[in-house]
A and B are shown apart, each in its own frame.
Chain A
Amino acid sequence: MSNAEKNLISVEDLVVEYHSGGETIHAVNGVSFSLEKGKTIGLVGETGAGKTSIAKAILRILPDHATQAVRGKINFKGQELLSIPEKEMCALRGKSISMIFQDPMTALNPVKPVVEQIAEGLRRHQNMSKAQSIQGAIKMLETVGISEDRAYEYPHQFSGGMKQRVVIAIALACNPELLIADEPTTALDVTIQAQVMDLMKNLQKELGTALILITHDLGVVAEVCDYVAVVYAGQVVEYGSREEVFDHPSHPYTVGLFGALPDLSKNVHRLSPVEGLPPDPSNLPEGCSFAPRCPRALEGCRKAPVGMSKIGDTHIVRCLLDGKEDSHGTVRD
């Protein structure tokens, strides 16, 4: 992680604050991670954990009217994204970094033919003429499995799955180096989910794109990601390679997430959900933000913020227990 040269993007101490009704909402509280070219990181966490805010902060598309502060460092290929002028950021958006949005139903402009919504990105970044860009957009649509004769239709004539394909086509149109996919399959049918994930994986392989995958689906993470960052209340509480996190989940929250997954190999009558609710982001607890829900919280957890500690090669965890005990309460070697 320390090798800045090798990293395509590194996020350091990212803080995002919103304001709402006179209160400050602490959506992201010091998130750090980095990603090499062509690799995939999964940001996992509950709704409201700040995953989307992280993504939007990277692209600098947080809503102006609600955002109070964005602090920290986001280094993309040597450029400091949070401090470059808007014009340079515009040149990166959609070209070097692009994003697949969560809800395909609302992410497309209802009054523009889909082909045009893809083509305008091509015109903006690849210096194409109108005709060339339309050709390019049609090709892109074919890549995601939409035939040319539907290219001139409007979003309302498409099903949810097809809309999501269009959203993906928009994001991939200019062969970005970094793709941020914000729950790309959440709004879709299970049958289409697999198709869309396959599509993204194939395209990633072909184009060598690095992927930040935001999801709460651990199954998807297990399938696609090289690294996993578990996000809770705007903080990374556990980070590591897929194997490290899946084989030795060390933060009690991660353990809880796995416990909430149905396991067909065991005969369990009830899933064990993580008890309680995430903390109110306008009023975070003083100590570890998971402490109020943590089955194993110590006295020290509630007093002061807990730092990250290294417990494996790339495996780090924000817990006083340092992952010394696994989910069954036994000591790990």
Chain B
Amino acid sequence: MARYIGKRLLQMIPILIVVAILIFSLMSFVPGDPVQIMLGDNATPEQIMETRASLGLDKPFISRLGSYLADLARLDFGKSYTQGTAVGAELMARFPKTLTLAFFSIIFTIVIGIPIGIQCAINANKLSDKVWMFLTMLGNSMPGFWLALLLVILFSVKLGWLPSSGDSGLNYFILPVIANSIGSLADIARQTRSSMLEVIRSDYVVTARSKGLSERDVIWKHALPNALIPIITVCGSRFGFMLGGTVIIESVFSIAGIGTYMVNGINSRDYPIVQGSIIYIAFIFAFIMLLTDLIYAYVDPRIKAQYISAGSKSKKRERGGIRKSYGKE
């Protein structure tokens, strides 16, 4: 298993290099001049030339790309044109806020969404199922920012229970987390429902029932673990998106996260910020995908067997490993 993880981590390097080259080229050829935007309309050609030279923008594309990649290799993301601060440091400073928002959002999504989906599957086509499916459709189609504004009006303005903006404490995150989760929550509930419906009718669930297990055990111990794979897939990609920064939620609630940082960078053609953010997002996605693949293996021994047989032939050792961990439970 360690071999598999190592291989996957190494595979991330070429992916990140390709992403870096792509985004660097794209930014260079996109219309709009960062220097022009920085200095405004009244700048003299001399000023423009000077700034251009100081930012290194006067050099040819290939040499700029080369030095950018060389810097990246030393984990140096460059300095922001407009703010003069190091992009890497800024990303690190903003990451905890985005992580807090994403982490609680995905937890909220899972803890609420999966049980709703299970209940719907158990009561498929009954009234409660239909009501929940209607609500999740609503949740899925409702724009996050609109829900965010409604929440602010109710809980901050009318009731005064929760702060409407800022990020200086955990209670500041309650409304953003709810607004951020509703869409994914609805998505997960629907995914859980359909995947559970398929599993609930399978033979091994009938076998479980025929052993005299309670309905709760049948659902939670036999059906759910088999229904998890597609649910994990959706959770993984949702979590990836959330970690990439949720621009709208961050803007509505004035959270200094990565999403707003990137959008500001795009608006001011601040190349290093945009490139740095994109590489960060690519890394996060690759990492989350690896994580989901590892969770697959944990959930389904057949997938684990595939990883191992693709990686090495130490099947015997792995067998012992399963047994040992099993004994501990």
What is A's interface to B at a CB cutoff of 8 Å?
Answer: 56, 59, 61, 63, 65, 86, 90-95, 98-99, 101, 103, 106-113, 116-117, 120-121, 124-125, 130, 152-154, 156-157, 167, 170-171
Contact = CB atoms under 8 A, between A and B. Distances in A.
A93 B221 CA distance: 18
Nearest to A153: B319
B305 A101 contact: no
Given A152-B326, A153-B319, A108 B212 contact: no
B302 A154 contact: yes
Given A65-B201, A109-B226, A101 B214 contact: no
Interface of B: 124-125, 201-204, 206-215, 217, 221-222, 225-226, 299-302, 305, 319, 322-323, 326, 329
Contact of A93 (B203, B210, B323): B210
Contacts of A86: 215
Nearest to A108: B204
A152 B323 contact: yes
9 contacts: A65-B201, A95-B212, A107-B204, A110-B226, A111-B299, A111-B301, A120-B211, A121-B211, A170-B207
A121 B218 CA distance: 12
Contacts of B322: 113, 152
Contacts of B201: 63, 65
A99 B210 contact: yes
A167 B302 contact: no
Chain B contact residues, majority secondary structure = helix
A90 B210 CA distance: 8
Contact of A94 (B204, B210, B225, B319): B210
Contacts of B323: 152
Given A65-B201, A92-B212, A101-B210, 4 more contacts: A86-B215, A99-B210, A121-B212, A153-B319
Given A101-B203, A110-B226, A111-B226, A156 B210 contact: no
Contact of B202 (A65, A98, A106): A106
A125 B212 contact: yes
Contacts of A124: 211-213
Contacts of A125: 212
A228 to B, nearest CB: 25
Q: B125, B206, B217, B225 — which one has the most chain A CB atoms within 10 A of its CB?
A: B206
B300 A110 contact: yes
Contacts of A61: 206, 209-210
Q: Which of B201, B210, B221, B300 has the most CB of A within 10 A?
A: B210
A59 B210 contact: yes
Contacts of A130: 329
Nearest to A109: B204
Contacts of B326: 113, 116, 152
Nearest to B125: A65
A10 to B, nearest CB: 21
A109 B208 contact: yes
A171 B302 CA distance: 25
Contacts of A63: 201, 206
A90 B213 contact: yes
B210 A106 contact: no
B305 A156 contact: yes
A108 B207 contact: yes
Contacts of B210: 59, 61, 93-94, 98-99, 101, 171
B222 A94 contact: no
A148 B101 CA distance: 48
Contacts of B211: 93-94, 98, 120-121, 124, 170
A90 B203 CA distance: 18
B235 to A, nearest CB: 18
A100 to B, nearest CB: 9
A101 B211 CA distance: 12
Nearest to A95: B212
Contacts of B203: 101, 103, 106-107
A91 B212 contact: yes
A99 B217 CA distance: 19
Contacts of A92: 212
Contacts of B215: 86
Contacts of B209: 61, 93
A94 B214 CA distance: 12
Contacts of A98: 210-211
A110 B212 contact: no
Which of A99, A111, A167 has the most chain B CB atoms inside 10 A of its CB? A111
Contacts of A121: 211-213
Contacts of A94: 210-213
B204 to A, nearest CB: 4
B301 A154 contact: yes
A120 B301 contact: no
A61 B203 CA distance: 11
B7 to A, nearest CB: 23
Interchain residue pairs A-B with the least CB separation, the first 7: A94-B212, A93-B212, A94-B211, A106-B203, A121-B211, A109-B204, A154-B301
A90 B212 contact: yes
A186 to B, nearest CB: 14
Nearest to A157: B305
Contacts of A101: 203, 206-207, 210
A120 B203 CA distance: 17
